[in-house]
Amino acid sequence: MKGRTHVLVLVGALLAGCSEFPTRLLAPEVPVNIALPLVDSLLVLEQLIKDTAQIRRDPATGNLAIAFGGELTPVRVAEELTRIAPLQRRYAVSAAEEDTLQAHFRQWWQRTLVLALPLLRCFPQLPAPPAQTVVPSVSGVQVEQPATLPAEIQAVEFRHGIANLVLHNGYPVPLSIEPPPGQSQPGILLRTPGYGEWFVALSPMQRLIPPGETRGLPSDPGGEIRVGLDGMVLTSATRIVLQLGSPGSGGQPVRYDTMPVFSVRLIPQGSAFRWAELRLPELELLLPLSVELPNQAALEEARLSEIALHCRFRNDLPISVQGQLYFPQLRSADGQLLTFPLQLEPKASAEWREQRTGVLLRPVAEDLGSVRVLRAYARLRVPSQQSFQRFWDSDTLLAELSLERFHVAWAQGERLPVVEFEAQTESEVWLRGNLGALSQMELELAELLLEAHLENSAAVAFRIEGTAEVLDRTRNLLARLTIPEQLVEPAELIGGELRARPSHWQLRYTDVVLRARPRFVRFLWRIRVEGPPKWAVADSSQIFGRVELVVPVRLRIQRLEFDTLWALTGGETLRRQSRAVRSARAVVEVYNLFPVALELQLTLADSLDSLRLPPQAPLWIAAAPVTAAGVGAAPQKVLSSFPLSQEQLELLRRADRVRVRLRGETSAGQYVRIRSSDWVHMRATLQIEYVP
């Protein structure tokens, strides 16, 4: 009982002493330290030059390559392949050498007997025909008769040439040609008062002519009697002088029913006159103006979008001519022959230009299915003349035809007018994205791939070779690459329609250095026609496509910049804390395996303000050392820690993004090589202490 009393007293005393205790119990305050990640990124070469449109990764090796390129300016091949114009044809002919006039000139002489001597002229005592009588012998019968010229010729002076003299004995007795007065040998004398005389000597076989035979033809005894015409003048006053003899009929009667004639013909061969007084009948002159297509081209058909002609004619003749210029292979869309009228007055000229569109080119019969010669003719008509006119050998008909434009809308054939031509095409390329941050760089290429994806809309295969020039933005030459011969496939001709076919090249180059960023790739091509046997082109035919330079990345840089922006989620973690943060410290850790010293600046920001880490200046990281092989030996490490004020911490709470700016520059402006195996690892954390 006594013990229980003591316990009660003790409890009461305790309760009385605790009257000053708090009314409720509080848990102890224990600070909490956490580390919030702000940035944790491994930056490699692929990210440094990241551009999804231009960076390729080799699946086998993991190596990177820059692929930059663009569309080529099209090479329009139709105009090059069908380049026929300009073509020129000049035809000039003198009156003395024009074929039609020469042919008539020869015919006039062939049908004309310059001398026709009847039998009674040498034997006046004989009866007129019909008769049968004995012809006596005679000698020294001198004959001087006017020469009879063709009716169309009043006078002529030959500049050069030869003639055949043909003698025919129509008498019933033999004849012999004796020396005429003043000559020592047998022959015939042509004498033109005021101009001179020309003697034609005869050989012993030529001077004796049996009845009914000729002398002077190639098959006659003694052969041809050749007369030199150089300088000879024959007029209506020209006289023929000769001396005849005959043994007679030998006492035997001979019969003749018509008047026998001894005749002389003078037939010019290959002659040209210096002048001639002519009275021309109606004549048709044809001036050929045809011209062969270049390269022995053969066109089976063509539709021309345009043809332009320049024509010039000059008529130096003393007479007018008229006619037309025509092209038998060219027709308008309605099928009409392409012709142009001509009217040329004496001693006058005419000149004009013509342009036609929608012209069809079709072979004519003499083309045998393919046009190899562009045929053109001037057909001129000379009206019949009523009086004699003097024509000089300098009188000329001149025709000049110039084909100035020959634009093809469609053509096909067996052989093209052009077998080789040169062309230039260009592509503008851009190094976009972070490639532009490599402000001073070299692309040192272990190899370079030139890829061309071309299409050809002409049904003609090509062999192309030449050069590719890589230029900077001011068109300075960075590299010149040789393009070995490459094949461009022909388009397909299906139902009269050309369907382009693709061709792909991939050319590999080594030991190329580009010391600036490429901006243009220019191609200088030599294009040679390969085939096929049948070709076809349209005015829209072209070589077009895209070209790419694929550069396996092995950068040599002098300075680089990398600037990017990432979303930040650490601020949200801070905003979820309801208690004040007692302290905060930012820690930045960097490992650098790039052989370039780097500066790192992190900026955390919202829409109103920003916080730099480090706050005072960028963080500097030394360049990584490299081995003798150029490979990074070990990364350089930098660890920096610095406290944050309440104001900086408040800004960090609001921050929603972080900007990473990395800059590098080599010492002494030297270029260093960066490999795809090089990297820089950046890590930034926020160490905070707070009470939950």
Could you tell me the CATH number of the domain that includes residue 432?
Answer: 2.60.120
User: Does residue 4 sit within a domain?
Assistant: no
Q: Of residues 22 and 627, which shows the higher confidence score? A: 627
Are 681 and 571 part of one and the same domain?
yes
Average of per-residue pLDDT across 133-158? 94
1-13 in b/e form (b: 16+ CB < 10 A) is: eeeeeeeeeeeee
Q: Is the pLDDT of residue 7 over 50?
A: no
Residue 531: predicted pLDDT: 72
pLDDT tens track for 562-605: 777 877 765 566 666 545 677 888 899 999 988 888 888 888 88
Q: Are 371 and 278 within 8 A, CB to CB?
A: no
Are 145 and 189 part of one and the same domain?
yes
Average of per-residue pLDDT across 633-656? 84
Average of per-residue pLDDT across 384-391? 93
User: Does residue 13 sit within a domain?
Assistant: no
Average of per-residue pLDDT across 423-430? 83
Q: Is the pLDDT of residue 177 over 90?
A: yes
Residue 225: predicted pLDDT: 96
Are 151 and 271 part of one and the same domain?
yes
Are 130 and 149 part of one and the same domain?
yes
Residue in 655, 461, 467, 487 with CA at minimum distance from that of residue 38: 655
Identity at 615, one-letter amino acid code: P
User: Does residue 346 sit within a domain?
Assistant: yes
Residue 26: predicted pLDDT: 55
User: Does residue 106 sit within a domain?
Assistant: no
Per-residue DSSP letter, 100:
H
Write out the residue range of the structural domain in which residue 520 sits. 55-63+71-81+418-552
Those residues whose C-beta lies under 8 Å from the C-beta of residue 233, and which sit 6 or more positions away, are 155, 156, 157, 158, 192, 195, 196
Give the Cα separation of 526 and 184 in Å (integer): 77
Per-residue DSSP letter, 649:
H
Between the alpha carbon of residue 58 and those of residues 61, 62, 69, 449, 675, the distances in Å are 6, 5, 18, 13, 15
pLDDT tens track for 313-355: 999 999 999 999 999 999 998 889 999 999 999 999 999 999 9
Residue in 429, 117, 56 with CA at minimum distance from that of residue 244: 117
Q: Is 449 exposed, middle or buried (0-12, 13-18, 19+ CB in 10 A)?
A: middle
User: Does residue 236 sit within a domain?
Assistant: yes
62: left (phi over 0), alpha (psi -120 to 50) or beta: left
Give the Cα separation of 451 and 70 in Å (integer): 11
Residue 578: predicted pLDDT: 41
Residue 166: predicted pLDDT: 96
Rg of the chain over all Cα atoms, to the nearest angstrom: 55
Are 320 and 369 part of one and the same domain?
yes
Are 432 and 533 part of one and the same domain?
yes
Average of per-residue pLDDT across 666-680? 74
Percent over 70 (pLDDT), the chain: 86
Residue 58: predicted pLDDT: 61
Residue 585: predicted pLDDT: 87
- Mean pLDDT lowest among 482-486, 596-600, 673-677: 673-677
- Mean pLDDT lowest among 125-129, 172-176, 378-382, 544-548: 544-548
User: Does residue 8 sit within a domain?
Assistant: no
Are 346 and 460 part of one and the same domain?
no
Most confident residue range from 72-86, 181-195, 647-661: 181-195
43-63 in b/e form (b: 16+ CB < 10 A) is: bbbeebbbbeebbbeeeeeeb
Are 156 and 179 part of one and the same domain?
yes
Per-residue DSSP letter, 38:
E
Residue in 367, 384, 382, 280 with CA at minimum distance from that of residue 330: 367
* Domain count within the chain: 4
pLDDT tens track for 488-546: 999 998 888 899 999 998 888 887 777 777 788 899 999 999 877 789 999 999 999 98
How confident is residue 439, by pLDDT bands cut at 50, 70 and 90?
Answer: very low
**Mean pLDDT for all residues in the chain:** 85
Q: Is the pLDDT of residue 278 over 90?
A: yes
472: its two tokens: 């900077």
Q: Of residues 64 and 189, which shows the higher confidence score? A: 189
Are 383 and 527 part of one and the same domain?
no
Q: How many CA atoms lie within 13 A of 421 on its CB side?
A: 18
Which residue, 254, 278, 302, sits at the end of a domain? 278
Q: Is the pLDDT of residue 109 over 70?
A: yes
Residue in 91, 102, 106 with CA at minimum distance from that of residue 379: 91
Query: Which residues are paired to 677 by β-bridges?
Result: none
Are 567 and 502 part of one and the same domain?
no
Q: Is the pLDDT of residue 642 over 50?
A: yes
Are 573 and 643 part of one and the same domain?
yes
- Mean pLDDT lowest among 166-175, 189-198, 480-489, 542-551: 542-551
Strands (DSSP E) contained in 193-230 are 196-201, 208-209, 214-215, 226-228
Which residue, 393, 412, 431, sits at the end of a domain? 412
- Mean pLDDT lowest among 104-108, 161-165, 366-370, 606-610: 606-610
User: Does residue 507 sit within a domain?
Assistant: yes
Which residue, 493, 522, 552, sits at the end of a domain? 552
Are 382 and 326 part of one and the same domain?
yes
User: Does residue 18 sit within a domain?
Assistant: no
Average of per-residue pLDDT across 127-153? 94
